[in-house]
Amino acid sequence: MAVEIIVMVKQVPDSQEVVIDPVTMNLNRSMTRNVTNRADENALEAALSIKDKIGANVTVISMGPPQAETTMIECLARGADRAILVSDRFFGGADTYPTGLTLAATISKIGKYDIIIAGEESSDSSTGHVGPGVAEFLDIDQITYASNVDYEDGYVIGERELEDGTEVVKVPTPVLVTVLLNSNDPRRQTLRRKIDAIRKGFEVWNIEKVGLPPEWVGVRGSPTIVRRMRSIKEKERAGKKYDLTNLGELVKELYEKKVLKMEEE
Ligand SMILES: Cc1cc2nc3c(=O)[nH]c(=O)nc-3n(C[C@H](O)[C@H](O)[C@H](O)COP(=O)(O)OP(=O)(O)OC[C@H]3O[C@@H](n4cnc5c(N)ncnc54)[C@H](O)[C@@H]3O)c2cc1C
C-alpha cells in the first residue's frame, strides 16, 4: 500500500502588509495580500521528494478562511494529490490549541497517515506550537526542526542541525516532522499543472465533517486572549565607531563583555 503523507500548510499575510483590527486585536486577514507560509512550501517539497522516490500519496490540509483556496490550488499545482481546506466560521479566531486540535481531528478523519509534515513555524504568529501540538493530540512521535527528511521501509529519517553537528533520527511511522525554513528548494508550479489543479479542485470540510463540538474550536476553544497591543518605538542606537586600522580596542571591548574568549581559557 502507498505511503500516505499529509502536509499542513497555512496561508499567511504577506509580511509587508500586516493589518491589526483595533477592536478585536486579531489580524485582519481580509485587508492583506495572502501567501503560502514559506516554511510550508519546504514541508510540501519534502513530501514531494519522498513521493518522487517511492510513489507516496500527498494530501495537503489547511485551516483557514475561504481565500486560502489560492494556497490549495498552488499546492496541487506543485504536485500534491489531494487538498482539503478546513473552513467554517466556527474555526475563526483560533489560537494554537484549537488550531492543533482541529488539524489533528481532520487528520484522524482522513484515516490512514504515515508521515505528517509541517513547517517549523508560521511567518505571522510564529509560535511553532501547531506541528508538535498535532503530534501530541494524535499521540504519535515527532521529529522537530528537520533540515532533511527521508523515508525507508517504514521509517522516517530526519536530520537535525545542532550547534556541534548533525543529529540523525530514525523513527517508525506514523511520525510528524517539522521542517526548517529554506531546508530545500521548492519546485515551481507550471501553467499546465495549475490548469489541471483548478480542474481537479479541492475539498472544503466544515465543522460537521471534522466532527468537533463548536465550543472546542475557534475563539471559544482558545485559552489565549489578547488584551492589548501597542506599537513600540525603535530606540535610537548610540552607534559607536571603531578605527579599523586599530582593532585592538574592539577586541578588548568584546573580551571585557565576554563576547570573545582567549584560547587558553
Ligand atoms: C500570544 C498569541 C496569541 C494569539 N491569540 C490569538 C487570538 O486571540 N485569536 C486569533 O485569531 N489568533 C491568535 N493568535 C494566532 C494563532 O495562534 C495562530 O494564527 C494559529 O493558531 C497558528 O499558530 P501559528 O501561526 O503560531 O503556527 P505555528 O505553530 O508557528 O505553525 C507551525 C506550522 O504548523 C502548520 N500550521 C499552523 N497553522 C496552520 C493552519 N491554520 N492550517 C494548516 N497548518 C497550519 C504549518 O505547517 C506551520 O508551518 C495568537 C498568537 C499568539 C502568538
Sketch the domain layout of the chain as residue ranges.
Answer: 4-216
Q: Whose CA is nearest to atom 49 of ligand 1?
A: 119
Reported as a pLDDT band with limits 50, 70 and 90, residue 265 is low
Which residue owns the Cα nearest ligand 1 atom 15? 95
Question: Amino acid identity of 78?
Answer: R
Q: How far is CA 14 from CA 33, 37, 69, 257, in A?
A: 6, 9, 16, 38
The predicted-structure confidence for 200-216, as pLDDT tens digits, reads as follows: 999 999 999 999 999 99
Of 62-76, 93-107, 109-123, 250-264, which gets the smallest average pLDDT? 250-264
Residue 121 sits at the vertex; the CA angle it makes with 118 and 127, to the nearest 5 degrees, is 125
Residue 246: the pLDDT is 81
pLDDT-above-90 percentage for the chain: 72
Strand order in the sheet with 4-8: 165-172, 155-162, 141-152, 175-179, 115-119, 4-8, 57-63, 82-86, 203-205
> Can you give the pTM of this predicted structure?
0.85
Q: How far is the CA of 191 from the centre of ligand 1 (A)?
A: 31
Q: Which of 130, 136, 204 has most ligand 1 atoms within 8 Å of its beta carbon, as the pocket-test mutant?
A: 130
Query: Residue 37's pLDDT is what?
Result: 97
CA–CA separation, 183 and 198 (whole Å): 28
pLDDT, residue 250, reads: 86
Distance of CA 73 to the CA centre of its chain: 18
Q: Is the peptide bond before 223 cis (omega within 30 degrees of 0)?
A: no
3-state SS assignment for residue 105 = helix
How far apart, in Å, are the Cα atoms of 37 and each of 51, 67, 211, 262? 21, 14, 26, 43
Collapsing DSSP to helix, strand or coil, 70 comes out as helix
Long-range contacts of 48-55 (CB under 8 A, 24+ apart): 48/78, 48/79, 48/80, 48/187, 49/149, 49/184, 50/3, 50/5, 50/115, 50/149, 50/150, 50/151, 51/5, 51/79, 53/150, 53/151, 54/3, 54/151, 55/2
- 3-state secondary structure (DSSP) of residue 67: helix
Indicate the average pLDDT of the chain. 92
pLDDT band at 261 (very low <50, low <70, confident <90, very high): confident
Distance from the Cα of residue 103 to its chain's centroid: 12
**Closest ligand 1 atom to 122 CA:** 30
Residue 137 above 90 pLDDT?
A: yes
Q: How far apart are the first and last CA of the chain?
A: 58
Q: Is 124 in the pocket of ligand 1 (CB under 6 A)?
A: yes
CATH topology of domain 4-216: Rossmann fold (3.40.50)
Nearest CA-CA partner of 131 in 216, 61, 219: 61
**Ligand 1 binding pocket includes 166 (Cβ within 6 Å):** no
Bridge pairing between strands 82-86 and 57-63: parallel
10 vs 39: CA distance, rounded Å: 9
In this predicted structure, what is the pLDDT of residue 160? 96
The predicted pLDDT at position 248 comes to 86
Per-residue pLDDT, 105? 98
As a whole-number percent, the residues of the chain with pLDDT over 70 amount to 97
Read off φ and ψ for residue 19, nearest 5 degrees.
Answer: -120, 125
